Amino acid sequence: MKHIIGILFLLITATAFAQKQEGAIVQFSGIVHNADSTGVIIPYVSIINSSYRKDKDVNLSNYEGYFSFVAHERDTIKFSCVGYTSVTVVIPSNISKKSYILQVMLKPRIINLPVFRVFPWATTEEFTKDFLTMKIADDDLEIARKNLNLSSILSLERTMPRDGSESLNAQDMHNSVVNSHSITNPLLNPFAWGALIKQISDGDKSRANDSY
């Protein structure tokens, strides 16, 4: 019987001590914001009470960044979210209204990842095979020589349309050729008529002189 009384006394003492260590119950509420951008809310932040290891001590802020749950004074609360640096908050003691409201600020975390190169070869043997059969690209001199080749120029001339300056030059050349081969009708030339009348008149005079 004495042993039972001693065990009960120890249990009561441990419970009272644990309650004293836990602190009073507090309604912990607040909103999570971005520390670098004032007014920007961070939704769905993971909130863990580090003082306990229970599933019920894991909470989550809503899509507006708001959270509210029951905790104890002197509890350590950890706020974490992907892309942000975690923040730890300790609920103070001796809260008069048993309600603690806090605006939590999370700072964005920038992680510089190393450069990752993706190659189309699955094995080293495939790379070696493709490398040995690879056709080396021409240098600038070889490219210029191919572009100035007569066959290349003729092929481009047949397939590529002319630009504005080339079309204008071709039209001018065509007009000059047409004008150089054009034949003027003498019947429409008044100077030709004058020359013809003069020749007839001179011919008549010469025949009259010969008759005398």
Give the H/E segment covering residue 193: helix 190-211
How does residue 184 score in pLDDT terms, banded at 50, 70 and 90? low
Q: Tell me: pLDDT of 55 over 60.
A: no
Total number of domains constituting the chain: 1
Over the stretch 102-138, which tens digit does the pLDDT of each residue have? 999 999 988 888 888 888 888 888 888 888 888 777 7
30: in domain = yes
Q: Residue 90 falls within a domain, yes or no?
A: yes
The answer as to whether 71 is a domain residue is yes
CATH of the domain at 87: 2.60.40.10
Cβ neighbours around 32 below 10 Å, total: 24
